[in-house]
Structure 1
Amino acid sequence: MKKIMTFAVCAMLAMTASAQKFGNINMGEVFETMPERAVVQKEMEELQAKYETELSKMGDEYQKKVNDYLAEQEKLEKSIADARAQEIEQLQQRIQNFREMAAKDLQTQQQNKVQPIIEKINKAIQTVGEKEGFTYIFDLSQGNILYASPSQCIDVLPLVKKELGLQ
Structure 2
Amino acid sequence: MMMKQFKTLVIAALMIVGASQAAQAQAKTAHVDVADLMSKMPAMLDAQKQLEKLSTTYDTEYKTMVEEYQNKLKKYEQEASTVTDAVNETRSKEVQDMQKRIVDYRDNAQKELQQKEADIVKPIMERVKASIQKVGKAKGYQYILNSEGLLLADGPNITADVKKDLGF
Question: Which band: TM-score by shorter chain?
Answer: 0.7 to 0.9
**How many residues are paired up?**
129
* Cα distance in 2, alignment partners of residues 17 and 42 from structure 1: 41
- Residues 1:89 and 2:96 aligned together: yes
- Partner amino acid, structure 2, of 1:117: I
* Cα distance in 1, alignment partners of residues 27 and 146 from structure 2: 17
Partner of 2:120: 113
- Residues 1:61 and 2:68 aligned together: yes
Cα deviation, residue 16, structure 1? 7.7
**Out of 88, 99, 106, which is 2:106 matched to?**
99
Which runs of 5 or more structure 2 residues have no equivalent in the other structure? 1-21, 151-168
**Out of 4, 28, 43, which is 1:36 matched to?**
43
Cα deviation, residue 62, structure 1? 0.1
Q: Which moved further from structure 2: 66-75 or 127-136?
A: 127-136
* Cα distance in 2, alignment partners of residues 137 and 111 from structure 1: 25
* Cα distance in 1, alignment partners of residues 60 and 94 from structure 2: 22
Q: Secondary structure at the match of 1:23?
A: strand
- Residues 1:22 and 2:29 aligned together: yes
**Out of 128, 139, 157, which is 1:132 matched to?**
139
Cα deviation, residue 58, structure 1? 0.4
Q: Secondary structure at the match of 1:128?
A: helix
Partner of 1:77: 84
Cα deviation, residue 140, structure 1? 2.5
The higher radius of gyration belongs to 1
Q: Secondary structure at the match of 1:74?
A: helix
Q: Secondary structure at the match of 1:122?
A: helix
Cα deviation, residue 32, structure 1? 1.0
Give TM-score, length-normalised by structure 2: 0.72
Which runs of 5 or more structure 1 residues have no equivalent in the other structure? 1-14, 144-167
Q: Secondary structure at the match of 1:73?
A: helix
Per-residue CA deviation, residues 45-68 of structure 1 (Å, 9 max, x unaligned), is 110111011111101110111011
- Structure 1's 42 and 140: CA in aligned 2 closer, same or farther, altered over 3 A? same
Runs of at least 4 residues of structure 1 off by over 2 A? Answer: 15-19, 140-143
Q: Secondary structure at the match of 1:30?
A: helix
* Cα distance in 2, alignment partners of residues 99 and 49 from structure 1: 13
